[in-house]
Structure 1
Amino acid sequence: MILLLSAKDDESVKLVVPELVERGAEFLWWDPGGYPADSAISSRLTGGSWRHVLRIDGREYDCSQFTAIWNRHPTHPHAPESVADDNHRKYVEKIATILLLGWEHTVESRWLPARTMDIIRTQNKLVNLGVAAALGFTTPDTLITNDDEDLIPFWAEAGGELIAKEVEFVEFRIDGEDHAHYTTPVSRRRLTDRHRLALSPAILQPYVKKAIELRITVVGDQVFSAEIHSQGSRATRYDYRHYEQTFSTYAVHRLPDDVERRCLELVASLGLHYGCIDMIVTPEGEYVYLEINPAGQWGWIETMTGLPIAASIAEWLIAAESHR
């Protein structure tokens, strides 16, 4: 049986489920956010190994029978509604989170892309930028700092063509509305606000001119590369995530063999089986690595280009049967 760990409204899982059904695969879609409110886990150490039983809706699942686990986008554990006190709820949910991390670590299966702690480690920019550079990718000169005295010299080194982005793309709420910081050019005027770095470290890089951007999705040993033509609008010039489907156009891209090989090496070196890599192709034709997201979105890429990513994910999950 295949275990799908994700929220019930996850559109990416909804794309893969029909592929699994078509192939006759048996699967369970469970959101760990329902733990411990409406699900239970019992773990017993016996004979030198853990035996885990997952109970949902009156049914029991022997976790050793999960041949593959897709750790997609699970939500955080939620305490039952009967726990009214906020501090008590936080306690219950913290303990549940700790238990789930241990459960993941001790459930023997093939994980896509990886267990949660490995996802957290590998999506960290300090980690994956360093690994990519060591593998031979061209990477921008990068400074990550919260010391505002570093900013002006680095800005000058970049000839005033500097961009800033967050260490992690994190959404936040102000007055009930969702916000996020996108990649932003650092103008001379913005240097006067450099004291704000003290509160939140930023990634600083010289601006790399773009002919096109690439979204490269790696599933196992398959590589799917899509061109994002983002430079036709000021809204997407610095970050295509601004109105990505409104102002950008898409096409399938053929990677040079050496770049494709490095993409596979990067995913493997990070201990992953899946990852979404963002790159730039400069006007001179140079391929520049930006980052990898081990839990990145791909549904809109399949919709825009027809690349069979959902089918590839389903095949990877089903192929796990032969690895038991």
Structure 2
Amino acid sequence: MSTDVLVLTQPGDTHADAVTRRLVASGASVTTFDPAEFPSAATLSLHLSPAGAIRRTLLRGRDRVDLDRVDAVWFRRPQDPRPHDEITDPEVREYVEQECEAFAGALWDDLDALAVPGTRADIRLAGRKQTQLRLAGRLGFELPPTLLTTDPDEFLDFWDAHEGRVVTKPLQRSWLIRGDESYARMAESATTVDVASAESMRLCPLIVQAYVPKRVELRVTVVGTRVFAAEIHSQDSNHTRLDWRCYDPSTTRHGVHALPGDVMRRCVLLVAELGLRYGAIDLILTPDGRYVFLEVNPSGQWLWIEDATGLPISEAIADLLRSGADRHLPNPVSGALS
């Protein structure tokens, strides 16, 4: 059975490219679309008959896509709709952006298709750090002692309780773009400078966690019910000791990791309970063998893990998207035939 897949992402997404190549090679029909092309370079239309029959189309140049044929929609890294450049008034642009998002967003949400990693609503909810941590703890994961606050006194009490061995990190976004300049904020050790300037915490919330000693860090990629665990030997370098995202891929060792069965089951359950079919989970394996949960990213990257370890993550995602063609097939009933 042929599968029609809609991939919503921005240009230059090599992760999406790796999956779409596999989909096309297997005979699937793939449309890759950046929602920022709408409405300036593409049109969307929705028709409703008096009886409620619906017809939805995407037109980009001469290419017309029947959106009602889509079996799976992959919300990979879509951008927001972008108004025509000829609309220069800031307030009018904001109005048009909101109208376009209201139309396009509802259209994507209402497609009768398998949503990967999940619906847009589930992706937004799953991205909330406090939601992730609370659910992970309920499922039996060990968590670092954690504080989310804008209260300087709470921060100072936490600092004292953990004798200054604490790490701070952003709540939602690890980057800021101002004009032509960009800034990145990863996990960082809190210092006496942070203590001295604790009053500034009133301006913006922050995550503060007790430092957890590491043997290795783990990136666990869950695709449906399949689990791919990789070790990141972040402790080999001072650059990556606190946050492996500061790593040098040429020097940081990676390897396949065999997760204990109970940890693997928790990873699958965590992703499923968040309403997702894909999730990239970060764990710490401590020197004494404990698995500590840090976070899950509904749109986390995986290609560098695949390249370093050979884990077939791209093929697993392609398999998941292809399964959208079977979403309406009846489930076999055990014992129905005898």
Where does 1:1-324 land on structure 2 (aligned, <5 Å)? 1-46=4-49, 47-48=51-52, 50-173=54-177, 176-324=180-328
Q: Deviations over 1:92-136 (max 9, x none)?
A: 122212222211221121011012222111111011111111111
Q: TM-score, normalised by structure 1?
A: 0.95
Please tell me the residue identity of whatever aligns with 1:43: L
Shift in CA distance, 101/24, structure 1 to aligned 2, threshold 3 Å: same
C-alpha separation in 2, matches of 1:40 and 1:20: 25
C-alpha separation in 2, matches of 1:138 and 1:279: 10
C-alpha separation in 1, matches of 2:207 and 2:295: 12
> Where has structure 1 moved over 3 Å in runs of 4 or more?
44-51
**RMSD after superposition:** 1.6
Please tell me the residue identity of whatever aligns with 1:31: D
The alpha carbon displacement at 1:50 in A equals: 4.4
C-alpha separation in 2, matches of 1:51 and 1:27: 19
The alpha carbon displacement at 1:56 in A equals: 1.9
Shift in CA distance, 156/121, structure 1 to aligned 2, threshold 3 Å: same
Sequence identity, in percent? Answer: 36
User: SS at the partner of 1:248?
Assistant: coil
User: SS at the partner of 2:81?
Assistant: coil
The alpha carbon displacement at 1:187 in A equals: 2.0
Structure 2 runs not aligned, ≥5 long: 329-338
The alpha carbon displacement at 1:48 in A equals: 4.3
Please tell me the residue identity of whatever aligns with 2:13: D
User: SS at the partner of 1:21?
Assistant: helix
Q: 314-323 or 271-280, which moves further after superposition?
A: 314-323
1:236–1:247 contact (8 Å) kept in structure 2: no
1:42–1:53 contact (8 Å) kept in structure 2: yes
The alpha carbon displacement at 1:27 in A equals: 1.1
Shift in CA distance, 50/147, structure 1 to aligned 2, threshold 3 Å: farther
C-alpha separation in 1, matches of 2:144 and 2:248: 23
Q: 263-272 or 154-163, which moves further after superposition?
A: 154-163
Kindly tell me the number of residue pairs found equivalent between the two proteins. 324
1:227–1:250 contact (8 Å) kept in structure 2: yes
Structure 1 runs not aligned, ≥5 long: none
